[in-house]
Structure 1
Amino acid sequence: MSAPTNPLHWCVGLVGYGEVGRILAEDLRAQGVRIVACDLKLGGPLEAPLREHAARHGVTLAASHTELAAQADLIVSAVTASQTVAVAEACASALRPGSFFLDFNSASPGAKIRAAGLIDGAGGRYVEGAVMTSVPPYRIRVPLRLGGGNAALLLPALDALGFSAKLASERLGVASATKMCRSVMIKGLEAMVIESFTAARAYGVEDAVVASLYETFPDIDWEQQASYFFQRVIEHGRRRAEEMREVAQTVREAGLEPWCAAGTAERQAWMADQADAGVFGDRADQSFARSPDWRTEADRILASARPDGKV
């Protein structure tokens, strides 16, 4: 059965019902779009918030990738980077002929090319997607670069659905390479700020360090930016670490040793470990990692790392 002509009448399948998936579900459901979603957390101890959100917004939850793929005219894959190819493989066996598969994942060009081969080989239409900044402030309008031979075909439908997408290239890998190279800087800056500011706090020189940064880069509000960086990495460090491992692979595929990207991945993963250990509070608590001052979170790190408070 072919997809309805009007994209607003499509069934959109969301693989990954985390922060990004839930935001897309909310914005698409507000337009009356039918949504089916699946997530690895379903059936586990962390499924309750997903089911509550789905019930509140009228989202159908699928028990498997194949159940979702059999219904969807457009599949959006928004999972952790390491699952990019696995999700494409799982969906490929049940794709509706001609259905679109939009890969939102922060994966290397090589991973996107492998995923495309699986989807296109099963009769679907793979489209590479590169999300160019943090989703929450923009929601469905987050800047999105598209790549691959099917990208131009999907672009008008995405416009109708409310996305803010642009065609990057008909060649697979270009959009993802843009995203990955950008992440060397953005995710690297997050890691550097956390490391620099926390160490400065330990030595009691944080005010001098921040003042110096304001002098050198006066257009950046370092206090506000640092607090934002701390919060995002505390909450999403695990996902960021996986992305940075894909970034490191991207750099490696270019013939360079990814010292910066690899180090960033380690710092992001380390922050996720601290969060999982409860250093920043209970994740079930609404106040978890919500301090407007980065110093609060830096002090928590230092108290955990050096209980005696000494440098």
Structure 2
Amino acid sequence: MHLGFIGFGEAAFELASGLKLQGLERMTAYDPLWNMPAYRELILTRSTKAGVTLVQTSEEVLQQVDMVIVAVPADKTLEVSKQLKPHLEKGTVYIDVSASSPDIKKQVAANIQEKEGEFVDAAMMGPLPVYKHEVPILASGYGTDIFIETMQRFGMNISKVSDVPGDATAVKLIRSIYMKGIAGLYVELLEAAHEFNVESLVIDSLSETINGCTFEETMNRLVTGTALHAARRSVELGGTIAMLDSVNIDSSMSKAAKEKIERLASLNIKEKFKGEKPEHWLQVIEASKIAN
């Protein structure tokens, strides 16, 4: 098994480092920054540590490998696939680990399929420096089965989503709505709590509310409860925004939440459910779709 990398940044380096420890000896990489003075030493050091042979062109990688991990910025994903397509060997497994959109993944997959390659949309679902090659990976696309069969022997943690390119990335990007959004909410909440010198009281109160239930239970309760009381809660958020504005704290997260909840209020879910709280979040989402 000969593994290639197009782009040898942190993600590729961490994967390769872990795979080396698992006995994968044949790895080759190309990085367009390798000959730039500002990055050359870093890339050379990484390749040496990971036991990866650096080459001067992406074509050299594709001529040698059975499987290639393409780790380039999301906005370069489609362009890179077009550049690589003429040099792709039949049957090569092309694994795209970028965070580009599902639509872009489908276009990349079409490029690879034209050359009779096997495409994999791979979404890495954890920090590479912590997990290295064992990072949980969701994979989709028609090359997924080969990817799993080949790389699980080296300890990679891969779960198949489907045969459809883009499905794995969709999970990652949708998950990011929460992971990135909640980080922004935390910052806004902590800025306010610190400004009013009530950090401990706020954190303790939230901990008591949230820690007693699972994530799914909390999510269900908040979505169904807010659907029922959306009008009142949007007004409450208006008070929060006014308070933050009065002490010059950025209230953009609260404003966005207020806008979302106001839209929910416009759906009249309380009336549709005759004043009773929906039992499950799915009822709220389905009601939203009908309204649209």
Indicate whether the TM-score tops 0.5: yes
Distance 2:33 2:17 in 1: 19
Letter matched to residue 78 of structure 1: A
| Structure 1 unaligned regions, length at least 5 | 1-9, 221-258, 264-311
Q: Which residue of 1 aligns with 2:150?
A: 157
Letter matched to residue 35 of structure 1: M
Comparing 91-100 with 197-206, greater Cα deviation is found at: 197-206
- Aligned partner (choices 25, 36, 46) of residue 33 of structure 1: 25
Is residue 78 from structure 1 mapped to residue 74 from structure 2 by the alignment?
Answer: no
- Counting helix residues as a fraction of each chain, which structure ranks higher? 2
Distance 1:202 1:59 in 2: 51
Matches within 5 A, 1:32-181: 32-44=24-36, 45-181=38-174
How far does residue 185 in structure 1 lie from its aligned partner after superposition?
Answer: 0.9
Q: Which residue of 2 aligns with 1:207?
A: 200
SS at match of 1:97: coil
How far does residue 55 in structure 1 lie from its aligned partner after superposition?
Answer: 2.0
Mapped contact 2:89–2:115 kept (Cα < 8 A): no
Comparing 153-162 with 189-198, greater Cα deviation is found at: 189-198
Letter matched to residue 18 of structure 1: G
Distance 2:80 2:185 in 1: 32
Distance 1:201 1:66, change over 3 A: farther
How far does residue 168 in structure 1 lie from its aligned partner after superposition?
Answer: 0.9
How far does residue 91 in structure 1 lie from its aligned partner after superposition?
Answer: 2.0
Distance 1:152 1:185 in 2: 29
| Structure 2 unaligned regions, length at least 5 | 214-251, 257-292
Letter matched to residue 56 of structure 2: A
Q: Which residue of 2 aligns with 1:190?
A: 183
Taking only aligned residues, the RMSD between alpha carbons, in angstroms, comes to: 2.4
How far does residue 123 in structure 1 lie from its aligned partner after superposition?
Answer: 2.7
Deviations 1:81-120 (A, max 9, x none): 2122122222222112211001111221101001111111
Q: Which residue of 1 aligns with 2:11?
A: 20
How far does residue 171 in structure 1 lie from its aligned partner after superposition?
Answer: 2.0
Mapped contact 2:15–2:128 kept (Cα < 8 A): no
How far does residue 205 in structure 1 lie from its aligned partner after superposition?
Answer: 4.0
SS at match of 2:29: strand
Say which one has the larger Rg. 2
Distance 1:203 1:39 in 2: 50
Mapped contact 1:65–1:87 kept (Cα < 8 A): no
Distance 1:198 1:93, change over 3 A: farther
Mapped contact 2:140–2:166 kept (Cα < 8 A): yes
Letter matched to residue 45 of structure 2: E
SS at match of 1:50: helix
Letter matched to residue 46 of structure 2: H
Distance 1:217 1:64 in 2: 52
Distance 1:104 1:204, change over 3 A: same
Matches within 5 A, 1:252-267: none
Runs of 4 or more, structure 1, over 3 Å off, are 198-209
Distance 1:103 1:92 in 2: 13
Distance 2:58 2:88 in 1: 10
Distance 1:156 1:163 in 2: 10
Mapped contact 2:13–2:50 kept (Cα < 8 A): no
Deviations 1:42-93 (A, max 9, x none): 2221232221121233211122322222222111122222122122222222
Mapped contact 2:7–2:32 kept (Cα < 8 A): yes
Distance 2:82 2:182 in 1: 34
Letter matched to residue 145 of structure 2: A
Distance 1:194 1:67, change over 3 A: farther
Mapped contact 2:105–2:121 kept (Cα < 8 A): yes
